[in-house]
Chains A and B, each alone.
Chain A
Amino acid sequence: MAAMFIRVDIADSVQDDPAVCQQLVEVCPVDIFELDDGGRVRTVEDNLDECTLCDLCIDATQPGQIDVVKLYRE
């Protein structure tokens, strides 16, 4: 089932730094991020709604690179 409550937007610039991509995978307590075969970070649809709004992904990146969108606030 598609995520209903949370969407996470990843800016293209994140993909330029493999270390940051890896960092995102590691910091998220509910495994929202994974790397594709090309080493690019992407979100895991099934886990998006588990987001605890902890902001660890935002802290791990430059301002504006990660946007956690609360779909129910839109």
Chain B
Amino acid sequence: MRFYEYEAKQVLAGYGVALPQREFATTADAAAEATSKLGGPVVIKSQVLSGGRMKAGGVKFADTPEEARDHAAAILELTINGLEPAGVLVEEKRSVEQEYYAAVTYDGRAKRPLIIFSDMGGIDIEEVAEQYPDHLSRTHFSASRPFSDFTAKVAVASVGVTGRDLNQLTRIVAGLARLFLERDMTLAEINPIGKLDDGSIIALDCHLDMESEARNTHRALLQEIGVPDDDNRQARPPTQFEIDAANVDAADTRGVAGNLTQFDGNLGLIIGAGGGSLTLFDAVRAAGGSPANYCEIGGNPSVSKAAALTKLICEQPQVEKIAVMMNVVSNTRVDIVARGVIKGCIEAGFDPAEKIAIFRIPGSWEEEGFALLEKYGVEYVDRSVSMHEAAERAVAKMGA
């Protein structure tokens, strides 16, 4: 779950990291007022959950409140990568002499947290890693032991920083690492860290991603910075179809029938489980099909839950047919899913034999499931037909 910059900086401030004076504003007038209050030239930054703000015109400089009002008005209207800003952050403008980069994340290969530090901040870090490897350090540490400052010092010193800068940067990086561990982040990044003309070093930007699974642990913090409980912070805002599917999943704890993502095609997909859904979605596209959605069913959902998801998908006007497909199932039952999809089709006012292009779920209780499908005239296949072949058959029916 990604934080907006203004929220991330609030969290960062709690870990002793120096930051520019700043105000969050949701209207152009409030931005002008904030500029008066800060009393000098400011930078106005779009608060949007996307990178590339500068390039998109989401960051502008202003010397006066009037100028700030105009820029803020423009930025508040500007969508970046399809996302609308939550507001603007108005910050005092500081003159920066040197930029640094610091990030803490998990390294799945080493299975430990990792500090990435560079004295080439402000630019794409993958580019630094490829072209200037001497300017980048990678320092692992333990997630079990309390964080010790020397680890941050080693990370900073490894790229050749010394003197007063080393000590200031060590404090910032150590604060970032503690924040990362204590707040269950999956990424904590400051890019850039800026050394100012007076020699002080502060965080100019901040990107934090908190593990969704740990949200409940940090409810107090989330309340303090004003993140609503139902704000899931996906890479793009959910569509109504997606919200409805999430509600279907949440309404019944028996198994999974949800994780739906909308696409712009005409073939509704009821697929599972995790890896099976990825495989089948690829298979449908490889066959030339155009999915109306991605979703996941698994963990043996109840009949009513499978039915509710089926009904929802069938009711979308763009959906012409649905395909019900999974890998060979172990704990999910073929007959239970078969009952659910047939019921959902009928509840949505469709004939299952027409609406269901194919049913390919082999595995536990398949004899019972196949008998049921037979009764309702639904085309089904067993494990002798591969996931890819099943997807091809479904797609072939769409033209007919």
A in complex with B: yes
Residues of A whose CB lies within 8 Å of any CB of B are 1, 4-5, 30, 46, 49-50, 52-53, 70, 72-73
Closest to B339 in A: A5
- 18 example contacts (A-B, Cβ-Cβ < 8 A) are as follows A1-B347, A4-B339, A4-B343, A4-B346, A5-B339, A5-B372, A49-B303, A49-B304, A49-B339, A49-B343, A50-B302, A50-B304, A53-B335, A53-B368, A70-B368, A70-B371, A72-B376, A73-B371
| B375: Cβ under 8 A from any A Cβ | yes
Question: Which residues of B lie under 8 Å from residue A4 when comparing CB positions?
Answer: 339, 342-343, 346
Question: Which residues of B lie under 8 Å from residue A1 when comparing CB positions?
Answer: 343, 347
Closest to A6 in B: B339
Closest to A47 in B: B304
Point out the residue from B303, B336, B375 that lies within 8 Å of A72, measured CB to CB: B375
Question: Which residues of B lie under 8 Å from residue A53 when comparing CB positions?
Answer: 335, 368
Question: Which residues of B lie under 8 Å from residue A30 when comparing CB positions?
Answer: 302
Residues of B whose CB lies within 8 Å of any CB of A are 302-304, 333, 335-336, 339, 342-343, 346-347, 368, 371-372, 375-376
How close is B361's CB to chain A, nearest CB, in angstroms?
Answer: 16
Known contacts A4-B343, A5-B339, A52-B336; is-contact A72 B371 (Cβ 8 Å):
yes
Give A56 to B343 CA distance when docked, in angstroms: 25
Most buried by A among B333, B343, B346, B376: B343
Question: Which residues of A lie under 8 Å from residue B342 when comparing CB positions?
Answer: 4
A5-B372, A73-B371 known; 11 new pairs, CB 8 Å cut-off, are A4-B342, A5-B339, A5-B343, A46-B304, A49-B303, A49-B339, A50-B302, A50-B304, A52-B336, A72-B372, A72-B376
Closest to A4 in B: B343
Question: Which residues of B lie under 8 Å from residue A49 when comparing CB positions?
Answer: 303-304, 339, 343
Give A49 to B341 CA distance when docked, in angstroms: 12
How close is A52's CB to chain B, nearest CB, in angstroms?
Answer: 7
Give A70 to B372 CA distance when docked, in angstroms: 9
Give A55 to B48 CA distance when docked, in angstroms: 55
How close is B73's CB to chain A, nearest CB, in angstroms?
Answer: 53
How close is B311's CB to chain A, nearest CB, in angstroms?
Answer: 11
Give A72 to B371 CA distance when docked, in angstroms: 7
Closest to B336 in A: A52
Closest 3 CB pairs of A and B: A72-B375, A72-B372, A49-B303
Question: Which residues of B lie under 8 Å from residue A72 when comparing CB positions?
Answer: 371-372, 375-376
Give A49 to B304 CA distance when docked, in angstroms: 8
Question: Which residues of A lie under 8 Å from residue B302 when comparing CB positions?
Answer: 30, 50
Residues A50 and B368 in contact, CB atoms below 8 Å apart: no
Closest to B347 in A: A1
Question: Which residues of B lie under 8 Å from residue A50 when comparing CB positions?
Answer: 302-304
Question: Which residues of A lie under 8 Å from residue B343 when comparing CB positions?
Answer: 1, 4-5, 49
Give A67 to B333 CA distance when docked, in angstroms: 22
Question: Which residues of A lie under 8 Å from residue B371 when comparing CB positions?
Answer: 70, 72-73
Give A53 to B375 CA distance when docked, in angstroms: 18
Give A56 to B261 CA distance when docked, in angstroms: 39
Give A52 to B364 CA distance when docked, in angstroms: 12
Give A70 to B335 CA distance when docked, in angstroms: 11
Closest to B333 in A: A52
Give A5 to B339 CA distance when docked, in angstroms: 7
Question: Which residues of A lie under 8 Å from residue B339 when comparing CB positions?
Answer: 4-5, 49
Closest to B342 in A: A4
How close is B370's CB to chain A, nearest CB, in angstroms?
Answer: 10
